[in-house]
Amino acid sequence: MMTLQFTQGDNGDRMVWNDSVLDSAESDLFEPDWWRSRDALLGEAQGRGAAYFLHGLDGKEWVLRHNRRGGVIARFNHDRFLYTGAERARPIRELRLIATLEALDLPVPRPIAARVAPRLGFYCGDVITQRIEQAEPLADRLANQALPSMAWQRLGAVLARFHRAGLWHADLNARNVLVDADDAFHLIDFDKARLRAPGKWRQANLARFYRSLAKFRDTSLAFHFLEADWSALRGGYVSASAAAL
């Protein structure tokens, strides 16, 4: 059974790690150059949170994501956050949330480790998760092919499961939903996400997801998203929500 362990490095870094995968955690785990020196850096993807793809210590692929700021503030501060304690820092909160969701048997990446590096009242942070095999962002899949109605219904049911668990995803969009080779769906990137009591936020969260899909559709005529697809998703969501009552 997985438990998350906490340790403090000699340099002051605070780290949480999955003891079913790692015996311990060191700051080197979060440094791309360390992985590059082991010839274990498989590639990288840029975005708000820079992601590095790794050949993990357990033989499986991992994703190392460095927390970055967005918006106007990123022009002069791209990765520093106010430090008010390790357990309140976003990387550690995110890893603990992923572990909670995994324990509920929800389709999320396996949590590996998180680091907070406090310096002079601020911190930088990183999260490592296991890479979901043979999966791609929903946005990429829809750019190339349509999904059948049953798949949209399954996606709606998956989102309902997360909402029933109380998950409010801060950035629910078509790039943070992955679809694998079996057309199974997974959620990623839980930075700033949290668990909440039932409320109107669920419909607002769905509306955010719809806007994401519509934005992709509006920028590309080749994007496979129809209003009928959304109706199928909503049908799966409603059915799964009613079945849980």
Residue range 209-235, pLDDT digits in tens: 999 999 999 999 899 999 999 999 999
Same domain, 119 and 140: no
Quick check: 34 pLDDT over 70? yes
Residue 71 confidence (pLDDT) above 80: no
Within this chain, do residues 146 and 198 fall inside the same structural domain, yes or no? yes
Q: Do 73 and 13 have their domain in common?
A: yes
Average pLDDT over residues 54-79: 81
What is d(CA 76, CA 146) in angstroms, rounded to the nearest whole number? 41
Residues 139 and 123 in one domain: no
Q: Are residues 42 and 26 in the same domain?
A: yes
Let me know whether 62 and 153 are in one domain.
no
How many structural domains comprise the chain?
Answer: 2
Q: Are residues 179 and 83 in the same domain?
A: no
Query: Is 150 in the same domain as 125?
Result: no
Query: Domain boundary at 130, 151, 177, which?
Result: 130
**pTM for this one?**
0.94
- 150 lies in the same domain as 94: no
Tell whether 224 and 119 lie within a shared domain.
Answer: no
Indicate the residue type of 226. L
State which residues form the domain around 109: 4-130
* Residue 159 CB contacts under 8 Å (≥ 6 apart), including other chains: 172, 206, 209, 233, 237
Alpha carbons 17 and 113: distance in angstroms, whole number: 4
User: Model confidence over 107-163: pLDDT tens digits?
Assistant: 999 999 999 999 999 999 999 999 999 999 999 999 999 999 999 999 999 999 999
10 lies in the same domain as 99: yes
Q: Which of 101, 130, 159 is the last residue of a domain?
A: 130
Question: Which of 86, 105, 130 is the C-terminal boundary of a domain?
Answer: 130
Q: Give whole-number Cα distances, 1 to 21, 61, 113, 115, 162, in Å.
A: 11, 21, 16, 22, 22
Tell me, yes or no, whether 46 and 157 share the same domain.
no
Which residue numbers are catalytic? 171
Q: Which residues contact 147 (CB under 8 A, 6 or more apart)?
A: 141, 155, 179, 183, 224, 229
Q: What are phi and psi of 36, to 5 degrees?
A: -65, -40
Whichever domain contains 184, its CATH number is: 1.10.510.10
